[in-house]
Amino acid sequence: MTTLPIITLLTLTPILGALVLALGGHRGERPARNIALGFGLLALLETWLLVAGFDGKSAALQFVERHAWIPSLGVEYFVAVDGLSILLVLLSALLVPFAVAVSGGIGDRPRTFYALMLLLQAGLFGTFTALNFFHWFIFWELSLVPAYFLIKLWGGPARRTAATQFFIYTFVGSVAMLLAMQAVFLATGTFDLPKLAELARSGELARGLETKLHWTGLSASALGTVLFVGVFLGFAVKVPLMPFHTWLPATYAEAPSSVTMLLTGAMSKMGVYGFLRILAPIFPGQLRDLLGPLMALAVLTIVASAFAAFAQKDLKRMLAYSSINHLGLCLLGLFAAMQPTANTAGWQTEKVAALNGVLLQMFNHGLTAAALFGFVALLERRAGGLRGLDDFGGLRKVAPVFAGLMGISLFASLGLPGLNGFIGEFLIFKGAFPLAPYAAALSTLGLLLTAIFLLTLIQRVFAGPLNERWKTFPDLTRGELLVFAPAVALMFLLGVAPQLVVRLINPTVIEAVNRLGN
Amino acid sequence: MTPLAAYLLVSALLFAIGFAGALTRRNSILVLVGVELMLNAANLNFLAFWRYGPNPEALTGVMFVLFAIAVAAAEAAVGLALIIAIYRHYCSSNVEDVATMKG
Amino acid sequence: MKGIINSLWLIPALPLLAAGIIALMKRPQRKPAAALAIGSMALAFLVSCVAFVATLQPEAGKGAVQLTHNFAWFDLGGSALRLGWLLDPLTAGMLVMVTFVGSLIFIFSVGYMDHDENLTRFFGFLALFAAAMLGLLIANNLLFLFMCWELVGVASYLLIGFWFHKPSAAAAAKKAFITTRIGDLGFFLGIVWLYHETGTLLFYDNGAGCLEQGALTKLVTQTTVGGMAVSTAISLLLFCGAVGKSGQLPLHVWLPDAMEGPTPVSALIHAATMVAAGVFLVARVFPLMGAATADLGLEGHSPHTTALTVVTWVGACTAVFAALIAVAQNDIKRILAFSTVSQLGYMMLGLGVGGPAVGMFHLLTHAFFKALLFLGAGSVIHGSHHEQDIRRMGGLRKLMPITFAAYAVGMMALAGFPLVFSGFWSKDEVLHAAMIWSPSKLPFLLGLFGAVLTAFYMTRQMWFVFFAPRAESASSPGRAAHSASHHEPQGASSSPHESPRVMTLPLVILAVATVLLSLFATPVWPWFHAYLGGQLDHLQVGWSADSAAGLTMLLSVLAVALGVSASWRLYSRGKAGTDAVERLFPRLFRALQGRLYVDEFYAATVFRLNAAVAVLSDWADRFVWSSVVELAAWLAKGLAWLSRTLDESGINSGFDAGCVETRGAGGFASRLQNGQTQRYLRILGAGVVVLVVAIVWMGNN
């Protein structure tokens, strides 16, 4: 199993694709897209091998590849997957071909566009598999660069501002995180994430901060809090947690829709992944100390973003706020799972439920939100760039298949049972309600509001009398159906058989809960 | 007054004349003549110091002077050649007209 | 027969399969779609009958038949989330009712929706609804029940908004989904809480289920916020869901608007089955609702727990409130809709005061006669070219005799005409239970008043639709325009006509069933009670009721007589075209016609608040949060400016000055270099002189 370095191959595949695209001399968009799609599908195939070879009963790291890189700085090439990683690798591998297939009408430098998409995928794969902070951070930033150019070069009218805002915002967060992690390195001498988690558990990290960093003049606990805030900032911006979210609506709205699919589908998961992989294991004590305010922020994120979505007139902005809302639920579940409790099996089960819910929600939101932005991309292309809530009306009459599939995706997004979104939300609330009753009860308001604005979307766009302007609005073509039907089918499949995903993550989650302690 | 002092006095006079010529003449050939005079004043000094010095048998002074005369001849040749070249270029042998090297 | 439990899943799976196949069909495949939907429903009916028969033979001494089949759905921590099916008399009775009424309504739809181009889709949605509803009935797990509960909500959404090109239909669909979802939030939290407290959501699991003794004992002994027992808190949260789905106060507003959907939908979903799901839920979790620390309940009566008291009061208030509004409505379907709300109130009242048997029996009888009434109304509407205002109808008794006869049966059952109509017996039971309910007599009086009102408004409706002198079609421009749009020749065909047989046949069957059902729960032979309670073997024929029953019956007969006679006198003598009650109490009538302004109240408070907070959030986002960011950006820019200024004025200027000086010095030096060789020589001479003087001077020292 260890003979084939499959994770390295997986990460290199999109990079190779990007190179082929960058160096090849093909003209026109279609060949470029086909090449990108080919490499995307190849990566999906490799991911499939990874998933097939993954031992779902074990919580251990699998497919480990470990080589010394810069030993003096504690830097190693260390990649592996566990239940958490494999889920997100799978998500990235699914979404990139999906987004590439939905892309179209890239008149300007199509080869660069698709090459950047593939580079973004490489960044995602690297982020989700790297287990050495140094190495991880490189990929974390690597994914930012293509995203920046994709927004800046192919975005909407206000793309420059949006791209700059996006870059600076996330970069400030990253820098804060980098500084904090360097302090951690000074205290411990390692960048190895699993090892750091272990050191944090044994209290060695705190001792290290005390002895090695006493020159800062701060006590270990104060220093710990400062470092925690630094790392927290990096992830909170990425997720985003209110009030660090203002870059998001503008960015999602201005980015080309297929790029938005990746931004919301995969890149926003990097933040939650960071919370789960780095912040919670390395700073559990600090997280618990600040749990009250953090929980309040999560509830604020859920409720305020839902309200804000309700007030939007632009479909992409509305869905952007909806994304904030869904990711807020992830953080609610995560924070709830950090709640100190008695060490009984009952509470452990609630925490496991909450974290399972968080992971499912990540996967499901990735799929659903990407599909929704994909539909908006089609809508935009057919309407010549229009995507206002009131620009359409009655489309269901002329485009029933389009309306039906997008309707299913919208219902999946609002958490209809039988579709994928429900189980994640149910598990999050199952865990969060006993652990944090008031926060969870308030957050249900977000569920209600989500239903309101998504149904309003259906009502304004698809129902009502047909807007004469769109009399010849084309329904989904065969090719588009081929792209979207599998996504919708997957929504049904995961809604009916969540075991397919839970199978992969459950042992990891149990292990995580045990490690996080009470 | 010793003979040495007399020689030196002549030499100094000669030098002064040459120096004055070199400084005051506008014609570059006359400047060159002044320079030659100063050179010969120096030669005279050499000979005087050799003849009245502690070691008159060693012929050192003569050797110096012979070399200096040879060098002066070469110098005069080069100097005159330069002057001719300058004259061809500027149609003047006045040293004040040749100021292209000024800062 | 007990093996049926393993095939119970077939009942919802059959319509689900049909829905799936129909979803892939093309628009012109109308006949196959209809056939598939009806066929699947009929098959489900057959399986349901088998299941029903299986519940008829209780094992001696063990109470009601209760078969379960549980299985793991997905892993959750060390254990797994388990779902399951349940077959007990409650489920079986509902299954038979839903599949039977459903099949008839499906058949009726073939006629009613004949002209609609989207017939295929319609049957797809109907089949989806049936699947979800049947799944809800057989669920042995609260989560599974909730999932189906939401799915029936979606099916209802799709069907109310079936004519989506009408803005009112699209809005009504949205309103229905969202209003019920408000209640569902409470339901959802209740489920989550129950799951946490008991560790399972299975109702029955060989003693480990959440409705079984062990869990209940645990729940009633723990207390939560405000000293309330956990069981009460959870029950109330679950009841929120029932309030939303069953259109109880204060979430009843969606149900009248739901009449925007096609009439068969109103009959199936918004009268007979889905809206009854809330009642079914309360009946299903009745052990939890009725759980008390000490068993306060007397034999045969329900215990007086807080949760049940709330159910009782909500039901009683809704019953009267909706009946009042129904008096002043003019749309034939809206009258029936408010009547449905009112009757659902009766069911809740029955559950609260008398337990599952009382409430459920009213549910079953109501399902039949209300489906009958709605289909009758559909037939009337279809026959009179989609006219829905009762004031523009009239005289249809002669023109639509079969519809009239069936409708009359339904009306008498609803109003509670004595003896041969099932509605009389079921309502009488509710009233009887309310009468002997010890905490308060007010619910009983409210129920009695509601009975008067019911008789009143149904008589009013009958009079306007079937008896009143026929209004001239010319006097109603709306209708004239309508018939003109049909391009039919004026005259014979523009007058109402009897509906085709495919529509009247279900009416007749339902009418017969409405009458026959009255046999099953008379005080002489209370079969239904015994069936639900699992005591069929002790069932005896004979007068088993107490003295209060006789009194109740008398009072309810009087109430009906009062309502009918008052209404008949008022309207039959009134002038055509005006409403008698309107003339007598104009202000009251207008208030009632405006549905007591509940919608307006919500629009002014909840909606406006919601919109305001939304605008506020958006505003906060655009201005507050982003201005904080802008501020940070400005701060950074300011720092950058400061740094630049310092650089330019401080560091750069020193450097520049040095450069200027150097350049000056260079200039001076270059001026010395003037190309005049003789000047150089002079300086050289002067230098030598200075040197000599210096040497001499130094040599002297």
ipTM summary value: 0.90
Answer yes or no: do C178 and A448 touch at CB < 8 A. Answer: yes
Per-residue pLDDT of A149-188, as tens digits, reads 888 888 888 888 888 888 888 888 889 999 988 888 888 8
Q: Taking residues B52-77, what's their average pLDDT?
A: 89
Q: How far is A486 from chain C (nearest CA, A)?
A: 15
Q: Taking residues C117-121, what's their average pLDDT?
A: 86
Closest to C74 (Cβ–Cβ): which among A308, A418, A498? A498
Closest to C674 (Cβ–Cβ): which among B31, B95, B99? B99
Q: What local confidence, expressed as pLDDT, does residue C187 receive? A: 92
Q: How far is A460 from chain C (nearest CA, A)?
A: 9
pLDDT above 90: percentage of residues in chain C: 12
Q: How far is B20 from chain C (nearest CA, A)?
A: 10
Write out the DSSP string of C73-117.
EEEETTEEEEEEEEE-HHHHHHHHHHHHHHHHHHHHHHHHTTT-T
Rounded-to-integer distance, Cα A207 and Cα B71, Å: 87
Exposure string of C369-382, with b = 16+ CB inside 10 Å and e = fewer, is bbbbbbbbbbbbbb
- What is the chain B residue with the closest CA to C670? B103
Which residues of chain C make contact with A426, given a CB cutoff of 8 A? 143, 188, 192
Q: CA-CA distances (angstroms) from residue A389 to A259, A312, A396, C607? A: 21, 8, 15, 19
Stated pTM of the model: 0.83
| CB-based contact C521:C527 (threshold 8 Å) | yes
Q: How far is C621 from chain A (nearest CA, A)?
A: 7
Write out the DSSP string of A212-224.
HTGGG---HHHHH
Asked if residue C296 has pLDDT above 60, the reply is no
Chain A interface disruption, residue of C166, C192, C625, most A CBs within 10 A: C192
Rounded-to-integer distance, Cα C344 and Cα C365, Å: 12
Higher pLDDT: C217 or C351? It is: C351
Largest CA distance in chain A: 74
pLDDT band at C540 (very low <50, low <70, confident <90, very high): low
- Chains that contact B by 3+ CB pairs under 8 Å? C
Asked if residue C652 has pLDDT above 90, the reply is no
Closest to A455 (Cβ–Cβ): which among C147, C165, C174? C174
Q: What local confidence, expressed as pLDDT, does residue C301 receive? A: 47
Q: What local confidence, expressed as pLDDT, does residue C578 receive? A: 66
Q: Which helix (DSSP H) or strand (DSSP E) does residue B89 occupy? A: helix B60-90
Asked if residue C19 has pLDDT above 70, the reply is yes
Query: Rounded to 5 degrees, what are φ and ψ at C393?
Result: -95, -140
Nearest to C275 by CA among C339, C175, C344: C344
Which residues of chain B make contact with C673, given a CB cutoff of 8 A? 101-103
Q: What DSSP state is assigned to residue C490?
A: S
| CB-based contact C88:C287 (threshold 8 Å) | no
Q: Which helix (DSSP H) or strand (DSSP E) does residue C274 occupy? A: none
Per-residue pLDDT of C474-485, as tens digits, reads 344 444 344 333
Q: Which helix (DSSP H) or strand (DSSP E) does residue C475 occupy? A: none
- Site of tokens 């946490």: C196
**What does the H/E/C string look like for C137-203?**
HHECEHHHHHHHHHHHHHHHHHHHHHHCCCHHHHHHHHHHHHHHHHHHHHHHHHHHHHHHHHCCCEC
Q: What local confidence, expressed as pLDDT, does residue B14 receive? A: 93
Q: CA-CA distances (angstroms) from residue A153 to A25, A26, A37, A101, C73? A: 20, 20, 21, 19, 47
Rounded-to-integer distance, Cα A460 and Cα C582, Å: 38
Q: How far is C701 from chain B (nearest CA, A)?
A: 25
Closest to C621 (Cβ–Cβ): which among A246, A462, A465? A246
Angle at C614 between CA C610 and CA C615, to 5 degrees: 120
* Average predicted confidence (pLDDT) for chain C: 82
For the packed helices C306-327 and C230-245, what is the interaxial angle rounded to 10 degrees?
20
- What is the chain B residue with the closest CA to C669? B103
Closest to C181 (Cβ–Cβ): which among A242, A304, A451? A451
- What is the chain C residue with the closest CA to A394? C165
Which residues of chain C make contact with B101, given a CB cutoff of 8 A? 673, 675
Which residues of chain B make contact with C671, given a CB cutoff of 8 A? 103
Asked if residue A368 has pLDDT above 90, the reply is yes
Q: CA-CA distances (angstroms) from residue C323 to B21, C313, C345, C446, C578? A: 140, 15, 10, 11, 21
pLDDT above 90: percentage of residues in chain A: 17
Higher pLDDT: C593 or B71? It is: B71
Closest to A397 (Cβ–Cβ): which among C157, C165, C628? C165
pLDDT above 70: percentage of residues in chain A: 98
Answer yes or no: do C675 and B102 touch at CB < 8 A. Answer: yes
Q: What local confidence, expressed as pLDDT, does residue C291 receive? A: 76
Chain A interface disruption, residue of C24, C75, C160, C177, most A CBs within 10 A: C75
Q: CA-CA distances (angstroms) from residue C32 to C26, C36, C99? A: 10, 6, 20
Chain C interface disruption, residue of B28, B32, B95, B100, most C CBs within 10 A: B95
Asked if residue C357 has pLDDT above 70, the reply is yes
Per-residue pLDDT of A5-31, as tens digits, reads 888 888 888 888 888 888 876 677 788
Query: Rounded to 5 degrees, what are φ and ψ at A78?
Result: -135, 105
| CB-based contact A279:A232 (threshold 8 Å) | yes
Taking residue C589's Cβ as centre, other Cβ atoms within 10 Å add up to 17
**What does the H/E/C string look like for A306-343?**
HHHHHCCCEHHHHHHHHHHHHHHHHHHHHHHHHCCCCC
Per-residue pLDDT of A276-304, as tens digits, reads 988 888 888 888 888 889 999 999 999 98
Which amino acid is present at C315? G
Verify B-A touch: 3 or more CB pairs within 8 A.
no
Verify C-A touch: 3 or more CB pairs within 8 A.
yes
Answer yes or no: do B103 and C682 touch at CB < 8 A. Answer: no
Q: How far is C331 from chain A (nearest CA, A)?
A: 23
Taking residue C603's Cβ as centre, other Cβ atoms within 10 Å add up to 11
Per-residue pLDDT of C571-608, as tens digits, reads 777 665 567 777 777 777 777 777 777 778 787 788 88
Asked if residue B81 has pLDDT above 90, the reply is yes
Higher pLDDT: C616 or B81? It is: B81
| CB-based contact C507:C376 (threshold 8 Å) | yes
Nearest to A419 by CA among A322, A501, A489: A489
Closest to C170 (Cβ–Cβ): which among A245, A449, A463? A463
Per-residue pLDDT of C264-291, as tens digits, reads 888 888 888 888 888 999 888 888 888 7
**Which CATH number fits the domain B3-100, given the four candidates 1.10.287.3510, 1.20.1050.10, 1.10.10.410, 1.10.287.4070?**
1.10.287.3510
pLDDT band at C299 (very low <50, low <70, confident <90, very high): very low
Q: What local confidence, expressed as pLDDT, does residue B103 receive? A: 63
Q: What local confidence, expressed as pLDDT, does residue A483 receive? A: 87
Q: How far is B88 from chain C (nearest CA, A)?
A: 19
Asked if residue C521 has pLDDT above 80, the reply is no
Q: What DSSP state is assigned to residue B98?
A: -
Answer yes or no: do A506 and C75 touch at CB < 8 A. Answer: yes
DSSP strand E in A71-146: where?
75-81
Q: Taking residues A87-116, what's their average pLDDT?
A: 86
- What is the chain A residue with the closest CA to C201? A430
Domain ranges of chain B: 3-100
- Inter-chain CB pairs, B–C, below 8 Å: 33
Q: Taking residues A309-325, what's their average pLDDT?
A: 89
Q: Enter the tokens of residue C309.
A: 């008291």
| CB-based contact A316:A376 (threshold 8 Å) | yes
Per-residue pLDDT of C107-116, as tens digits, reads 888 888 887 8
Contacts of C191 (CB under 8 A, 6+ apart): C142, C143, C146, C201, C238
Q: What local confidence, expressed as pLDDT, does residue C493 receive? A: 45
